[in-house]
Amino acid sequence: MSTASAVRRYRDEPVDDETLDKCLRAASWAPSGANQQPWRFVVLRSSDARAAVTAAARRTWQELKRFYGLTEPVGHADDAKSRVLRAMEEHTRVGGFAPCLVLFCVQPQRGASELQQGGSIFPAVQNFLLAARAEGLGAAITLWHDSCEDELRRLVGIPDDWLIAALVTAGWPKGRHKAVRRKPLELVAVVDRWNQPWSCGLDNS
């Protein structure tokens, strides 16, 4: 888990069905409210769907760059920001696209809040990501489906009462899996009181 960071650059090599099957199976082992498993994982292989996603990814990235005033990464600068910018460029470039695209869909359950609906699909997404990491694949969650949702619904035949929660990209990574960078545990785990940090007295750094 500590090296299951988002991977956005993939080698130009297909992912075999056996490996993908392991990741999908792991997704299907996730918990969900009342064990309803209100999900469907759609492997996108058709050229129409892949083209729609690629165009949507590009659009979303251009909008994000404008919104945040992001500039193109300069040369081969190796700071974290430049690396992410370069990876995002490659991730969203037409033709350089991920070998695997999987849509995670959820059918809202009666009376469930939006948060609860998400709780019955994102554990499956995370299981997929962790299984992918265990297999040596790299993967990333994206929300790119947001800007091609109508087209994807039509191409896949997603029923109107289902939601698309995430679009995961995966493939054999270019380069190494990187350690995740997260807030120290002491800032996010507490005991009994909101501001009383968790500490087990061990040095796990």
Q: Which is nearer to ligand FMN, 32 or 142 (CB)?
A: 142
Q: Which two tokens stand for residue 50?
A: 């892949």
> How far from chain centre, in Å, is Cα 27?
13
Q: In what order do the strands lie in the sheet with 138-142?
A: 39-43, 100-106, 163-171, 138-142
**Size of the chain in residues:** 205
30 is a site residue for ligand FMN (CB under 6 A):
no
How far is residue 162's CA from residue 160's CA, in Å, rounded to a whole number? 6
Q: Which is nearer to ligand FMN, 104 or 194 (CB)?
A: 104
129 is a site residue for ligand FMN (CB under 6 A):
no
Q: Which two tokens stand for residue 26?
A: 């792991």
- Residue 41's SS3 state is strand
**Pick from 86, 142, 148, 158: which binds ligand FMN (CB under 6 A)?**
142
Measuring CA to CA, how many Å separate 138 from each of 7, 11, 66?
5, 10, 27
**Pick from 77, 180, 187, 189: which binds ligand FMN (CB under 6 A)?**
180
140 is a site residue for ligand FMN (CB under 6 A):
yes
CB-based closest residue to ligand FMN: 5
DSSP state for residue 33 in the 8-state scheme: G
**Pick from 43, 70, 141, 155: which binds ligand FMN (CB under 6 A)?**
141
Mask for 72-101, x = binds ligand FMN (CB under 6 A): -------------------x----------
Residue 101 Cβ vs ligand FMN, minimum distance, rounded to whole Å: 13
Where does this chain touch ligand FMN (CB under 6 A) — which range of 33-41, 44-52, 66-74, 139-147? 139-147
How many helical (H) and strand (E) elements, i.e. helices and strands, does the chain have?
A: 7, 4
Binding footprint of ligand FMN on the chain (CB under 6 A): 5-6, 8, 91, 140-144, 180
